[in-house]
C-alpha cells in the first residue's frame, strides 16, 4: 500500500472514531439500535406531518378529558368544556415556555391536563425525538404520574428524581413540566 492511501485510511479512521464509538464500534444501520432510531424517526415524522385531532380537538385533550366537547384557547392554557359548556379542565402546553430544554435527542414537549380545580389530572408526552427505549423506562418508573393530584402551583416546585438509565430524557421532562406550569 502506498503512503498516500495509508495516510488517507488513517485520517478516515480518526474522523469516524467518535461516531463508531458512540454506536458500539459499528454503524451498520441494520442492528436493533439503529432500527429503533429509524422507526422512531419515521413515527415522529408522521406525527409532525399529520396533527391528530378528534372532533376538531387535539387527540391528547380527548385522551385526558373524554367528556370534552369543545375547547377555548386562552393565553396561558386551553379551557376544556363539556356538552353544557361547563369547564371540565385546562390543557397547558409546554411550548413556548420550554423552548430550549433538551433531552438526549431534543425537546420533550408536554401537555399537562389540569382538572377544574387546577390540579394535575395527567401529563402527556407529545411527539418528540427521544429514544423509545428511554421513554419506556420513564413511563415504567411512573415519572409522568409524579405530579398527579397536585395543584399546578405546587407541582411546578416539586422536587422529582430523574430516572436511572434515562437521565437526560427524564430531566428534560421534569424541567419542561416546571416551565409549563411556572406562570399558572
Integer CA distances (angstroms), 103 to 5, 66, 73, 134, 173, in order: 41, 30, 28, 10, 8
3-state secondary structure of 114: strand
Contact 17, 97 (CB under 8 A): no
Helix, strand or coil, per DSSP, at residue 3: helix
**Mean pLDDT, the chain, as a whole number?**
83
Q: Which phi and psi (to 5°) does residue 70 adopt?
A: -160, 165
Q: And the C-alpha cell for 38?
A: 429509524
Question: Which segment of 28-37, 63-72, 140-149 scores lowest on mean pLDDT?
Answer: 28-37
C-alpha cell at 137: 423506562
- In tens, the pLDDT along 120-162 reads 999 999 999 999 999 999 999 999 999 999 999 999 999 999 9
Amino acid at each position: 500500500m502506498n503512503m498516500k492511501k495509508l495516510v488517507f485510511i488513517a485520517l478516515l479512521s480518526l474522523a469516524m472514531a467518535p461516531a463508531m464509538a458512540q454506536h458500539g464500534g459499528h454503524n451498520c444501520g441494520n442492528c436493533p439500535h439503529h432500527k429503533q432510531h429509524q422507526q422512531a424517526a419515521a413515527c415522529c415524522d408522521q406525527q409532525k406531518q399529520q396533527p391528530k385531532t378528534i372532533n376538531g380537538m387535539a387527540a391528547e385533550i380527548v385522551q385526558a378529558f373524554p367528556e370534552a366537547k369543545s375547547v377555548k384557547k386562552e393565553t396561558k392554557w386551553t379551557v376544556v368544556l363539556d356538552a353544557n359548556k361547563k369547564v371540565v379542565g385546562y390543557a397547558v402546553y409546554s411550548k413556548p415556555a420550554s423552548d430550549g430544554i433538551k433531552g438526549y435527542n431534543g425537546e420533550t414537549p408536554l401537555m399537562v391536563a389540569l382538572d377544574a380545580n387546577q390540579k394535575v389530572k395527567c401529563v402527556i408526552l407529545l411527539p418528540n425525538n427521544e429514544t423509545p427505549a428511554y421513554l419506556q423506562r420513564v413511563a415504567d418508573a411512573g415519572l409522568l404520574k409524579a405530579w398527579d393530584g397536585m395543584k399546578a402551583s405546587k407541582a411546578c416546585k416539586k422536587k422529582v428524581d430523574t430516572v436511572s438509565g434515562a437521565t437526560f430524557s427524564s430531566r428534560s421532562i421534569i424541567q419542561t413540566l416546571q416551565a409549563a406550569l411556572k406562570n399558572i
